[in-house]
Every structure is written in structure tokens, then in C-alpha cells.
Structure 1
Amino acid sequence: MFLQLLIVLLFIYLGARIGGIGIGFAGGAGVVVLTMFFGVDAGTIPVDVILIIASVITAIAAMQVAGGMDWLVQLAEKFLRKNPKRITFYAPIVTYFMTLLAGTGHTAFSTLPVIAEVAKEQGVRPSRPLSIAVIASQIAITASPISAAVVFFAGLLEPLGVSYLHLLMVCIPTTFLACMIGAFVANFMGCELKDDPVYQDRMAKGLIQLKSTKKTVVTAAAKHSVYIFAAAIVFVVVYATLISGSVGIIQDPHIDRNQAIMAIMLTAAAVIVTICKIDAGKISTAATFRSGMSACICVLGVAWLGDTFVSSHLVEIKSFAGDLLQQYPWMLAVTLFFASMLLYSQGATTTALMPAALAIGVAPLTAVASFAAVSALFVLPTYPTLLAAVEMDDTGSTRIGKLVFNHPFMVPGVVTIASAVALGFLFGGLFL
């Protein structure tokens, strides 16, 4: 068992070294080794999770091609520029709700340049709003009604008496409040921008410039695409609520929640293409589509590898970890934290570890409260949105230290996740 565990960790490490979609490649290779050389039965492939990611990303990409993402960025910029002095608190609000709406943290790419520019204009250290904005875009995945992590986790919890709606009732307020706590901490991180020697040196060399924000013409089609996508999300939440066991208005539905999400999102994409008159051929070349398909492969490889190992040693794992987690429930959050740090995906971490946690007897309240801990993608400074924030800050305040882990995302990120877990136990006790 321990040798096989080492094999799993080795391939996860190799995937992390390759980076990006390579994590999925390495996961598939690990399955080959465990099944063909160790005689382990192959685990379950999270097909629903992969198909949900694909269908949601298709609708988002259609919205992007129609210009909807540009309109959302303009709205975000207006919001930030109306409250420039409070940029550290308003930036995570923007990235949080964009992720909540889209189900992917990659929407942050479009708003990070605006955040950096507004901070510089106000003399605010850009690392403060940029760091918590990136973290908010990651943790919001665990509150998004259409994210693969939430949908998969909800499916695990429903047989245990926790509905999809109850999960959202806990996750949305706790993660948002945790982001505000993280913003408060980030607001005191680092010296003032004018006192930063790196900033002073770059200013003296003429490397820092205030860029005029490019104005994009927003068409009626762009606005329509956002309205259509938002309506699809509302439809998903309403339908999932109506068929849930706790509400039970629709008995014996002809299509379950996961299938409904896929169908509704594909329908939304079709409506956007038709109403907004966009070229459907451009959807597959959109940046969001490419990143989403990469996420599908990552979840396929890593989650399959994790389930292959866990399902083959569930008895031993339950014997080893069951009593420990019953006595120290917060240990689940710690485990999820370090796992997501390596797996680089909330969906992959959830599908790989949550079934095992619930199978060994972890209470639903503990699992729900610990859910936010699958968002520790900021620990290793190699995640795309984190690197983008570093690159977009020409003041040099958002920099990675020589010790790798001493970067401006670490402290606000740990505080945000710890706060979300603590609040999760509090809110979970009220709603579950």
C-alpha cells in the first residue's frame, strides 16, 4: 500500500513539474503503473465532472466570442474606479462574483490588468489587491452553482441528507466573508508602494508607466450573451432546487441535475450563437475553451489515479485515518489543502479525496466546512492566474521571493481558507 502511495505521489509530482495539462497526462500514466504492474483494479472515471466542465466552458466560450466577457470587464472597471481607495476590498469582490457566475477562476485574467492599473493610479501597493483578487477567484469555485467541484460534491452529499441548495447556503456566504477577511489582512501586507526599494529602482529606470485603458465597444449582442448565460445559471439552480429531496416539488424527474446542467449549458451556447449571430467555429479557439478542455484532461488523469488507489485500499485507509478524522475533524481541511496544492484543481481534489473522506465516516458537516480548503492553488507560485498577476504588476511589488513560498499570495490565502473553514463549521451548524 505504501509503495503504491509513493507511486501516486511520484506521478503527481511529475505532473506538477510538467505543469498545466501535464498533470492529467501524469495521472493517466500512474493508472497504467498501478493497474498493470501492481495488479490494482482501475478506479472510476469522473465522467459527469468532465462533461459538466466541457459543457459549461462551451457556453462561457460562446459568451466570450459574442463579446460578453468584454462587457463584464467594463462593468468591473467602472466599479473599481468608483471606489479606487478601497481597491484591496473591491478587487476580490469583482473576481469572486465573476468566478461565481462563470464557474471558472480563469475569468480573473481579464480583470487583473484593471486592478493593477487602478492600484498604481492611487499609489496603493498593487500586490495587495492583486493577491487577494487571485485568491478570491480560486475559492469562489467552491461556491459556484455550476462549478464541477460543487456539482460533484453535492452529488456525494445528497444521499447523506445535505441538498445542493443547503451546500450553496453554506459555501456562498462563508467563502465571501472569508475573502473580505483575507482582504483586510492583505491591506497591511508589505510596505507602502512609495517606500518599496524595488518600486523606487524601477521608477528611476523609467520601467513603470500608467497605461490608458483600452476602450472596447460593447455591442447589443455582447449584453445579450451575458443575459442568456445568467438566465441559464438561474435555471440550473431553480431546477436543482425543485428536484432536490428537501424540496421535492418535481418527483421522479426525467433528467437528473448533472444531466440538466450539461443540457442547459449546451442550450445556452446554442441560443447565444443563434441570437448573437456569432461564428460557432470561433468558440473552440477561444481562450476560455482551451483552458477548460485542459481542465478536463487534468481532472480525468488525477481523479482517476486518486480513485484507483483509494478504492483499492479503502479498508486500510478507513482503519488508519477514520479515528483520526473523527477526533480531529479539521485535519480533513489540512489534507485537502495540501492535496489541492499539488493537484492544481478544485475539481480534481474534490473528486479524488471527498468520496474517500465520506466513505470512512467523516460527518457531512465536517466535509462541507472543509470544502473551501480544496482551493489552495496559490501555495506554489506556478498557477496561471498567480503568474499573470506577477507579470501585470510592473511596480515589482507582486514578486516571488527567493524562498519560493515567500510571495504575497501566501498569508492572505491561508487566512482566507482558514476563515472559510471556521465559518463553514459555524454556518453549517445552522443550515445543515
Structure 2
Amino acid sequence: VPATLIGLFIGALSVYKKGLELDQDPEYQKKVAEGLFKDMDAGVAETKMKEVSSKAKLSVAIFLISALAVVLIGTFPELRPHVTNAAGKSMTVGMTQMIEIVMLISAGLMVMFCSADPGKITSSSVFKAGMMGVVTIFGLAWMSDTWIANNLPMIKSEVAEIVGSRPYLFAIAMFIVSALTHSQGATVGAMVPLGIALGIDGHTLVAMYPAVCGYFIIPSTGVLLAGVAFDNTGTTKIGKWVVNHSYIIPGFVATFASVVAGFAIRYIFF
């Protein structure tokens, strides 16, 4: 946790000052001139407080209660119901399914009691970015999982040969696998047992853990796509070569700094 926080701080510093200010950005000024949106600086001066309706407040309350419910359900597994699957085996409902159930219920309540317009929801930038993320992430995840699953024995043998005498290279291997699988969980499940089998001690594996966050390389995660969609100034974008997007530098810096901080903490305190 401290290593990750250190990495995030350094990653944020790496993009604290990046590019031109909006009043000097030709692309942004062109959009303002074309009337695509008002100048943000001028808009701040014109902004007036709007009265928030009781239904809007209720929708926020429903969202916060739902988020709290998800946290409580995740913290206390006994709150999750037991069900019988098709094979007749009793099992606890997984967190993924519980999150989906809670969020769908909250969305239904907002539509029913808060006058939310489904037509406006589907045309919003948030919904469009989310659906784009669903399609691209599922497609890439299926492709990556197929490739990894069919080549996992070869990958493990190659990694074992490379990191046998240089354990620190195992962090690079985890980073590459996470970039291909787009999943920290899948990377941990596939690579950490290999690291243990190679004799890498637990403290070192924990220090390497932030390296499983290489999924930002290919810009197809929901959060990344949403960030691009939300920024109508055009300054947050995906480049011509796909991987040259706005998140590549802070992603590399934050991940690298987190792993370095993890190793520093490991050798100083353990």
C-alpha cells in the first residue's frame, strides 16, 4: 500500500505540467471559436448556482447507499446469499454478481422514483464510453485469455529460464503478462505461483506486486476510455499509434516508481 501511494504521487507529478495551457492551445481555441462549447475560463465567471431538486438529491443518496452496500458486502462475506447452482451444489454468490445486482437495483430505483430519463442516459457520454469499454475490453480479454491459456506452459518455462538468476526481472514478466491479459487477477493467478516455484521469497513478490498494473498499455479499459470521452477539450486523447495515448507516461512512471518503492521498503524494513 505505501509503495503504491508513493508511485501514484510520483506519477501525478510526472503530468503536473504537461502541454499548453488552454488559452494557448490551438486545438481547444479552435473548438471554442467554432462554438462547440464555451470557453471554460469565461464559463466560470458566468456560472450561477442552480437549485438542486429533491429527486436529484434522492438519486445521489441512492447511489451512495448502494456504494456503501457494496463495501459492506465485500467486507463481510456472510452478507452474501447462498444459492444452489445447476449442479445442485450450494455456493456463495460472488462479489462480481453482487455488485451487478446492487447497481442494477439502484439504477432501477433512480428511473422509477427520481424521474431519470432512460433516453438521455443512453445518449450521454458516460454511457457511450462505458459501452465502448465493454466491447473493447471483452474482445481484448477473450483474445488475450485465449493466447495466454494456450501458451502458458511456454511462457512459464521461458520466464523461469530468464529470471532464474535475476529474480528482479520477474516484475517485468508480470508487467508484460498483465498488459496482455488486461487483468491483475489473472496475472497474479498465473504468475505468482510460478514465482513461488522459482524460489522468489514472499516479501520480494509483494514488492513486485504493482507490476501487475500494465493493462494501461493498450487503451481499452473503461476508466481510460471514459477519461478520453469526458475531456471535450481534446487534450486527453488516444494517438495515431494507439499506444501513444495520454495515460502512457503517467502509467509507466507510477508503475515503475511503485515497484522501486516496494523494493526499497522490502530491503529497509524486511
Which range, TM-score by smaller chain?
0.5 to 0.7
**8 A contact 2:175–2:214 mirrored in 1:** yes
Larger Cα-atom Rg: 2
Where do 1:27-426 residues align within 5 Å? 170=1, 175-187=4-16, 210-213=41-44, 214-215=47-48, 217-243=51-77, 254-325=92-163, 327=167, 328-332=169-173, 334-335=175-176, 339=179, 348-350=182-184, 353-358=187-192, 360-361=194-195, 365=206, 368-376=209-217, 385-386=227-228, 389=231, 391-392=233-234, 411-423=249-261
Q: Secondary structure at the match of 1:330?
A: helix
**8 A contact 1:372–1:421 mirrored in 2:** no
TM-score, normalized by length of structure 2? 0.62
Rounded to whole Å, the distance in 1 between the matches of 2:81 and 2:264 is: 32
Rounded to whole Å, the distance in 2 between the matches of 1:390 and 1:265 is: 27
The letter for the 2-side match of 1:180 is F
**8 A contact 2:70–2:102 mirrored in 1:** yes
Cα deviations across residues 137-183 of structure 1 (Å, max 9, x unaligned)? xxxxxxxxxxxxxxxxxxxxxxxxxxxxxxxxx3xx65554333233
Using a 3 Å threshold, how does the CA distance of structure 1 residues 241 and 423 change in structure 2: closer, same or farther? Answer: farther
Gap runs ≥5 in structure 2: 83-90, 197-201
The letter for the 1-side match of 2:171 is W
The letter for the 2-side match of 1:211 is A
Q: Secondary structure at the match of 1:211?
A: helix
Q: CA deviation at 1:386?
A: 4.8
Using a 3 Å threshold, how does the CA distance of structure 1 residues 324 and 287 change in structure 2: closer, same or farther? Answer: same
Rounded to whole Å, the distance in 2 between the matches of 1:399 and 1:267 is: 33
**8 A contact 1:332–1:367 mirrored in 2:** no
Using a 3 Å threshold, how does the CA distance of structure 1 residues 297 and 255 change in structure 2: closer, same or farther? Answer: same
Q: CA deviation at 1:334?
A: 3.9
Using a 3 Å threshold, how does the CA distance of structure 1 residues 358 and 284 change in structure 2: closer, same or farther? Answer: farther
Using a 3 Å threshold, how does the CA distance of structure 1 residues 175 and 228 change in structure 2: closer, same or farther? Answer: farther
Rounded to whole Å, the distance in 2 between the matches of 1:416 and 1:285 is: 34
Q: Secondary structure at the match of 2:52?
A: coil
Rounded to whole Å, the distance in 2 between the matches of 1:279 and 1:297 is: 24
Cα deviations across residues 94-141 of structure 1 (Å, max 9, x unaligned)? xxxxxxxxxxxxxxxxxxxxxxxxxxxxxxxxxxxxxxxxxxxxxxxx
Identity value in percent: 25
Gap runs ≥5 in structure 1: 1-169, 341-346
Rounded to whole Å, the distance in 2 between the matches of 1:320 and 1:240 is: 37
RMSD, matched Cα: 4.6
Using a 3 Å threshold, how does the CA distance of structure 1 residues 302 and 288 change in structure 2: closer, same or farther? Answer: same
Cα deviations across residues 69-93 of structure 1 (Å, max 9, x unaligned)? xxxxxxxxxxxxxxxxxxxxxxxxx
Q: CA deviation at 1:263?
A: 0.8
The letter for the 1-side match of 2:12 is A
Using a 3 Å threshold, how does the CA distance of structure 1 residues 183 and 348 change in structure 2: closer, same or farther? Answer: closer
Give the structure with the larger helix fraction.
Answer: 1
Using a 3 Å threshold, how does the CA distance of structure 1 residues 308 and 334 change in structure 2: closer, same or farther? Answer: closer
Using a 3 Å threshold, how does the CA distance of structure 1 residues 295 and 367 change in structure 2: closer, same or farther? Answer: farther
